[in-house]
Amino acid sequence: MHSFRTPTFLRVPLRLFAIFAISSFLLTGCTSQATRQAEQAVTSFYAGDYLAAENGLRPLADNTNNDFVLNNARLGSVALTNYDIPQAEAAFLKAYEVMNSVGVNNGGRSLGAALVSENIKVWKGEPFDRAMVNFYLGMIYYMHHDYENARAAFENALFKLRDYGESKDSKDTDKYRTIESRFVLANLMLAKSWQRLGRDDLAVANFNRVAQLRPDLAALANPELNAKSNFLLVVETGTGPHIVTDFNGSIAGFGPKPYQVGPISCPMVYLDGRSMPTSDLARPTEDLLALAQDRVWQSIDTIRTVKSVIGTGLIAAGAVEGVRGAYDHGSGQRQDLIAGAALVGAGLLLKATSQADTRAWELLPRTTFVIPLHLDPGAHDVSIQFPGGLSQTWRGVTLPPDNSELTLYMRCLPWHQGPFQWPPPGLNQPLPAPAPPAH
Amino acid sequence: MIPMTKIPLRVFLRSFALIAISSFLLTLSTGCASAVSAGTNTSLSADDLIAMTDKMSMSILSSPGVQQAIARDHRLKVVIQPVQNYMTGEILPAGQKQTFVARVRELLAAHAPDKFQWIMNKTDYYAVRAKELETANSLGPNPDSLQPDYALTARFDSLGNESSKQRTEGYLCSYELINLRTRETLWTDKYEVKKTAVKGFLD
Q: Please give the average per-residue pLDDT across A53-80, as a whole number.
A: 94
Rounded-to-integer distance, Cα A133 and Cα A322, Å = 53
pLDDT score recorded for residue B41: 84
Contact A166 B203 (CB under 8 A): no
Before A256, cis peptide (omega within 30)?
yes
The residue among B192 and B15 whose pLDDT is bigger is B192
H or E segment and range at residue A55: helix A50-62
Categorize the per-residue pLDDT at A185 as very low, low, confident or very high, splitting at 50, 70 and 90. Answer: very high
pLDDT at A64 over 70: yes
pLDDT score recorded for residue A430: 47
Does the ipTM exceed 0.85? no
Query: In terms of CA atoms, which chain A residue is nearest residue B93?
Result: A149
* pLDDT tens digit sequence for A357-395: 788 899 999 999 999 999 999 999 999 999 988 999 999
The residue among A395 and A247 whose pLDDT is bigger is A395
Q: Which residues pair with A408 in a beta bridge?
A: A233
pLDDT at B144 over 70: no
* Residue type for position A191: A
Tell me the chain B residues in contact with residue A149 when contact means C-beta distances shorter than 8 Å.
85, 91-93
pLDDT score recorded for residue A111: 66
pLDDT at A159 over 80: no
Tell me the chain B residues in contact with residue A112 when contact means C-beta distances shorter than 8 Å.
23, 26-27, 31
Contact B35 A148 (CB under 8 A): no
Query: In terms of CA atoms, which chain B residue is nearest residue A301?
Result: B202
Range list of H helices, A327-355: 330-352
* pLDDT tens digit sequence for B75-86: 999 999 999 999
What is the value of pTM for the model shown?
0.82
Q: Please give the average per-residue pLDDT across B180-189, as a whole number.
A: 94
pLDDT at A158 over 90: no
The residue among A171 and A304 whose pLDDT is bigger is A304
Q: Please give the average per-residue pLDDT across A316-320, as a whole number.
A: 85
Q: How far lies A205's CA from each of A199, A355, B168, in Å?
A: 10, 45, 26
- Name which of B16, B93, B162 is nearest A159 (Cβ-Cβ): B162
Tell me the chain B residues in contact with residue A118 when contact means C-beta distances shorter than 8 Å.
none
* Across A124-128, A211-215, A409-413, least confident range: A124-128
Tell me the chain A residues in contact with residue B2 when contact means C-beta distances shorter than 8 Å.
7, 9, 335
Q: Please give the average per-residue pLDDT across B80-107, as a whole number.
A: 94
Rounded-to-integer distance, Cα A292 and Cα A256, Å = 9
Query: In terms of CA atoms, which chain A residue is nearest residue B83?
Result: A148
pLDDT score recorded for residue B120: 87
Rounded-to-integer distance, Cα B42 and Cα B159, Å = 11
- Residue A15: phi and psi, rounded to 5, are -65, -45
- CB interface of A with B, residues 13-52, below 8 Å: 13-14, 16-17, 19-20, 23-24
Contact B85 A346 (CB under 8 A): no
pLDDT score recorded for residue A345: 81
Report the greatest alpha carbon distance in chain B: 102
Q: Is B89 helix (H, G, I), strand (E, B) or coil?
A: coil
Contact B91 A153 (CB under 8 A): yes
Tell me the chain A residues in contact with residue B81 when contact means C-beta distances shorter than 8 Å.
none
Residue to substitute from A19, A25, A30, A109, interface B, most B β-carbons within 10 A: A109
- Name which of A110, A298, A432 is nearest B200 (Cβ-Cβ): A110
pLDDT score recorded for residue A337: 80
Contact A152 B141 (CB under 8 A): no
Mean pLDDT, chain A, integer: 82
What is the nearest CA distance from A107 to chain B, expressed in angstroms?
Answer: 7
Contact B126 A116 (CB under 8 A): no
Before A423, cis peptide (omega within 30)?
yes
- Name which of B86, B127, B197 is nearest A431 (Cβ-Cβ): B127
What is the nearest CA distance from B64 to chain A, expressed in angstroms?
Answer: 33
- CB interface of A with B, residues 113-142, below 8 Å: 113-116, 120-122, 137, 141
* Residue type for position A426: G
Contact B23 A105 (CB under 8 A): no
Q: Please give the average per-residue pLDDT across B156-180, as a whole number.
A: 91
Which are the contacts of B203, defined by CB distance < 8 A and separation ≥ 6? A102, A103, A104, A105
Rg, Å, chain B Cα set = 28
Question: Does residue A156 contact residue B91 with C-beta atoms inside 8 Å?
Answer: yes
Beta pairing, strands A406-411 & A231-237: parallel
For B171, which DSSP code? E
Contact A12 B17 (CB under 8 A): yes
Contact A104 B197 (CB under 8 A): no
pLDDT at A183 over 50: yes
What is the nearest CA distance from A162 to chain B, expressed in angstroms?
Answer: 9
Strand order in the sheet with A378-385: A274-276, A268-271, A378-385, A391-399, A420-421
pLDDT score recorded for residue A350: 72
Contact A435 B126 (CB under 8 A): yes
* pLDDT tens digit sequence for A26-45: 544 445 788 899 999 999 99
